């Protein structure tokens, strides 16, 4: 009978040890899973931030360049004679400066695709107003950039810029 009690005691100790081991293992697995999820989220967020920063930097840089050139030419028109800067061109430039200013006040379009494709994708996916707004900003940027490039090709700055 003493042997039976000793065996029962050993079995109970083994069962208790097994349960304790399983409990600690489960806790460690859960903690490891939580840590892995947190690390994955942080990594994903950082990559998204880095990509968004890079895309928005290019967008902002383009707007800043256009704004600087347009404002510079408008400021120079009074002090220097720019042969191809007609009254119509000056009015176009003033309008473009206003458009650049309005685009600089809104968030840039999302970086998923090229500027021209963003508007098409939004209108095909859903009629959500934020998507429409984003598409109109992307379209406005593309249109403004085209107008700017066309205007700059028509202005001869060889005698002004050294």
pLDDT digits (tens, 9 = 90+) for 103-160: 888 766 665 544 444 444 444 444 434 444 556 777 888 888 998 898 888 777 666 5
Question: Poorest-confidence range of 35-49, 94-108, 126-140?
Answer: 126-140
pTM: 0.55
Beta-carbon count within 10 A of 70 CB = 22
Angle at the Cα of 76 (from 74 to 82), degrees rounded to 5? Answer: 95
Distances (CA, A) of 137 to 6, 70, 95, 134: 81, 20, 16, 5
Angle at the Cα of 44 (from 38 to 49), degrees rounded to 5? Answer: 125
Instruction: Using a pLDDT cut of 90, give the percent of the chain over it.
Output: 6
Look at residue 141 in the predicted model and tell me its pLDDT: 86
């Amino acid at each position: 009978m003493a042997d039976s009690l000793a065996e029962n005691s050993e079995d109970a100790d083994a069962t208790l040890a097994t349960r304790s081991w399983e409990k600690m293992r489960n806790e460690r697995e859960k903690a490891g899973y939580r840590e892995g999820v947190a690390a994955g989220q942080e990594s994903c967020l950082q990559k998204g931030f880095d990509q968004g920063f890079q895309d928005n930097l290019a967008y902002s840089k383009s707007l800043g360049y256009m704004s600087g050139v347009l404002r510079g030419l408008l400021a120079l028109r009074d002090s220097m004679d720019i042969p191809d800067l007609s009254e119509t061109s000056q009015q176009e430039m003033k309008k473009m400066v206003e458009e650049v200013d309005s685009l600089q006040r809104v968030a840039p379009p999302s970086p998923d695709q090229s500027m021209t494709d963003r508007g098409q994708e939004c209108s095909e996916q859903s009629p959500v107003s934020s998507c429409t707004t984003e598409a109109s900003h992307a379209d406005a940027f593309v249109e403004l950039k085209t107008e700017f490039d066309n205007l700059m090709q028509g202005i001869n700055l060889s005698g002004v810029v050294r």
